[in-house]
Copies of this chain bind each other. A is one copy, B any other.
């Protein structure tokens, strides 16, 4: 019997939490019994996810079952199952699911490796240049790789490791600090920044778009282009700073690397000319970027606007028709189906928490506590963002963190007078940037940390430093940039 993926203690704890909220704690004034019961299920779900009681997809199945059977959203059984399944037709979920499938083509065709080695052949004569080459590679593929773990851990990290190895730098031989330590930290800290730069660069970003739209009565609807433009300046600045800051804090022993460029060039020669599949992948990338950025609508007018998810489907259609991906490839991309299931359950619960007025109530609580301190909106927003950000020390998943805290903190900030789009973009950025903090912050972290180049102490020190740098850049430079753009 398989299924050793269940942890009993966190599971029982999660059930206890649900019972506690459902039966023991009475709903506070202004909160309906149904809303409170849904909150009980939601908290139980989030606790189970954080405690890894089961794989997140299995927890999602249980959550859907509980919502459907308890009828907390709807008294009629047919209405309740309709609500419980409603997440599955959410277009944001399929944007991510389909994009994960598309990014499979990067690995399958070898295009991901080619991009990495290409940049190293260009900039790899100095160690810091290799750092920038890795950063650029991450940036180029970020718009089409919504699994930041697949991007940072699956594509960039192996390249970083093979370069470190080629310089005789490995944890086993105690030679990490020669160059591997530096490259591991640089490549890791680029990952949160690229994740913050595009809606399609990490799975929960579309959830943030939805939460902001819900909170503002659909007054603020962040498009792919709006997000990318807003994050462009602070994102590029942060990316430019990472290789320098890591260089200053933990300098590599090998500083000049004329051999790296040669190594990358030999790898490229080994790969030969671009294959048919790589060419199709590049064309599809270009197509997606042009359509996601809204170029047809800019040129031909609003009648030519296309939906972001429809574009993702178009990209997958092209890959299927051109035979770059087979339908079998699609079906065996388990990460996509996993994400579709857990994401649907979380979006469904978040939607009904909002509909039943619970987010509004909780944010009122947060807001009144901050309000009592008597600060203006700027200080209040700083408090909110800092608390939200550093709470990630207690989360092993940005999705769980965002699902649990984003909506309430955002609505509280609005009530305290923060400009809606400024606060939305800042919290959106923070939701990815917080990945820098720990070695369990996101899926990429255990992969890079697990390769052993960086000690836990150095990892946390570097994470804390980068958190201050990133937050400052996003809040100040970003804020000014958004002012220039007329966003607030």
Give me the interface of A with B, judged by CB distance under 8 Å: 1-6, 54-55, 57-58, 61-62, 64-65, 68-69, 77-78, 80-82, 84-91, 94, 276-277, 305-307, 309-310, 313-314, 316-317, 320-321, 323-332, 334, 337-338
Contacts of A88 in B (CB 8 A): 88-89, 94
Instruction: List the B side residues contacting A3 at CB < 8 Å.
Output: 320, 323-327, 329
Known: A2-B326, A331-B334. A81 touches B320 (CB 8 A): no
> What are 18 contact pairs spanning A and B, CB under 8 A?
A58-B330, A61-B320, A61-B330, A65-B310, A65-B316, A78-B91, A78-B307, A81-B91, A82-B91, A85-B94, A87-B89, A89-B89, A327-B338, A331-B334, A331-B337, A331-B338, A332-B332, A332-B334
A2 engages B328 (CB within 8 Å): yes
Known: A65-B317, A332-B334. 18 other contacts (CB 8 A): A1-B276, A2-B326, A2-B328, A3-B324, A4-B323, A6-B321, A54-B327, A65-B313, A68-B309, A68-B310, A69-B310, A81-B309, A82-B89, A84-B313, A85-B89, A86-B89, A88-B88, A89-B89
Chain A residues touching B, majority SS? helix
Copies of this chain assembled into the complex: 2
Are A77 and B310 within 8 A (Cβ)?
Answer: yes
- A310-B4 Cα distance, complex, nearest whole Å: 25
Nearest 8 CB-CB pairings of A with B = A3-B323, A68-B310, A89-B89, A2-B326, A3-B326, A55-B327, A77-B307, A65-B313
Q: Which chain B residues lie closer than 8 Å to A313 at the CB level?
A: 61, 64-65, 68, 84
- Chain B residues near A94: list those with CB within 8 A: 85, 88
B306 contacts A69, C-beta separation under 8 Å:
yes
Q: Find out whether the CB atom of A327 lies under 8 angstroms from the CB atom of B58.
A: yes
Q: How far, in angstroms, from A149 to B134 measured CA to CA in the complex?
A: 48
State A90–B78 Cα separation when bound (angstroms). 11
A3 to B4, CA, bound (A): 35
Given A57-B330, A58-B327, decide whether A305 and B77 contact each other with a Cβ distance below 8 A.
yes
On whether the beta carbons of B82 and A310 are closer than 8 Å, the reply is no
Give the residue name and chain of the B residue nearest to A315 (CB). B65
Q: Chain B residues with Cβ under 8 A from A89's Cβ? A: 82, 85-89
Contact between A327 and B87 (Cβ–Cβ < 8 Å)? no
Are A65 and B314 interface neighbours, CB within 8 A?
yes
In the complex, which residues of chain B have a beta carbon less than 8 angstroms from the beta carbon of A314?
Answer: 65, 69
List chain B residues, Cβ under 8 A from A325: 2-3
When distances are taken between beta carbons in the complex, the residues of chain B under 8 Å from A306 are 69, 77
Bound CA–CA A55/B328 (angstroms): 9
* Closest residue on chain B to residue A336 by CB atoms: B337
The distance in angstroms between the C-alpha atoms of A313 and B58, with both chains bound, is 11
**How far apart are A311's CB and chain B's nearest CB, in angstroms?**
8
Partner of A310, one of B84, B305, B310: B84
Known pairs A77-B310, A91-B81, A91-B82; A54 contacts B331 (CB<8 A)? no
Give chain B nearest CB distance to A107 CB in angstroms. 13
C-alpha spacing A338/B313, complex, angstroms: 16
Contacts A57-B330, A317-B61, A330-B57 given; indicate if A85 touches B77 (C-beta within 8 A). Answer: no
Q: How far is the CB of A66 from chain B (nearest CB, A)?
A: 8
A331-B57 Cα distance, complex, nearest whole Å? 9
Docked complex Cα distance between A450 and B228 (Å): 42
Contact A307 B80 (CB under 8 A): yes
Q: Which of A55, A310, A324, A325 has the most CB of B within 10 A?
A: A310
Instruction: Give the residues in chain B near A305, CB-CB below 8 Å.
Output: 77
Q: In the complex, A356→B87 CA distance in Å?
A: 25
How far is A326 from B306 in the complex, measured between Cα atoms in Å? 39
In whole angstroms, how far apart are the Cα atoms of A1 and B280 in the complex? Answer: 12
A206 shortest CB reach to chain B, Å = 12
A320 to B85, CA, bound (A): 19
Instruction: Give min CB distance, A352 to chain B, whole Å.
Output: 14
Set of chain B residues within 8 Å of A61, measured between Cβ atoms: 313, 316-317, 320, 330
- How far, in Å, is A56 (CB) from chain B's closest CB? 8
